[in-house]
Amino acid sequence: MTNIGVLGAGQLGRMLALAGYPLGHRFRFFDPASDSPASLLADHLAFDYADTSALEQFAQGLDVVTYEFENVPVEAVRHLEKFVPVYPPPIALEKAQDRFVEKSFFRELGIPTPKYSTDGFAKRINGYETDEGNGLEADARIVSTDGFAKRISGYETDEGNGLEADARIVSTDGFAKRISGYETDEGNGLEADARIVSTDGFAKRISGYETDEGNGLEADARINSTDGFAKRISGYETDEIEFPVVLKTRRMGYDGKGQMVVSSQAGLENGLGNGETDGLIIEEFVPFDRELSIICVRNRSGETKFYPLIENQHRDGILRLSLVTGNVSADLQGQAEEYATRVMSALNYIGVLTIEFFEKGGRLLANEMAPRVHNSGHWTIEGAVTSQFENQVRAVTDASLGSTSPLGACAMVNLVGTLPDVEFILKIEGAHLHLYDKAPRPKRKLGHITLVEKDVEMLYEKLNEIRKVYDQF
Q: Residues in the site for ligand AMP, rule: CB under 6 A?
A: 114, 246, 253-254, 256, 283, 285-286, 291, 314, 317, 356, 367-368
**Smallest Cα–Cα separation from 238: which of 170, 136, 155?**
136
> How, if at all, do strands 3-7 and 64-67 pair?
parallel
Toward ligand AMP, which CB reaches closer, 228 or 317? 317
| Residue 467 CB, nearest approach to ligand AMP (Å) | 21
Toward ligand AMP, which CB reaches closer, 318 or 451? 318
| Residue 82 CB, nearest approach to ligand AMP (Å) | 32
Toward ligand AMP, which CB reaches closer, 203 or 328? 328
Toward ligand AMP, which CB reaches closer, 291 or 382? 291
- Residue type present at position 102: E
Toward ligand AMP, which CB reaches closer, 314 or 342? 314
Toward ligand AMP, which CB reaches closer, 279 or 420? 279
- Residue type present at position 319: L
| Residue 118 CB, nearest approach to ligand AMP (Å) | 13
| Residue 114 CB, nearest approach to ligand AMP (Å) | 5
| Residue 257 CB, nearest approach to ligand AMP (Å) | 8
Toward ligand AMP, which CB reaches closer, 21 or 243? 243
CB under 8 Å to 288, separation ≥6 — which residues?
A: 358, 359, 360, 365
| Residue 180 CB, nearest approach to ligand AMP (Å) | 33
Toward ligand AMP, which CB reaches closer, 147 or 317? 317
Bridge-partner residues for 247, per DSSP? 260, 282
| Residue 117 CB, nearest approach to ligand AMP (Å) | 12
| Residue 40 CB, nearest approach to ligand AMP (Å) | 29
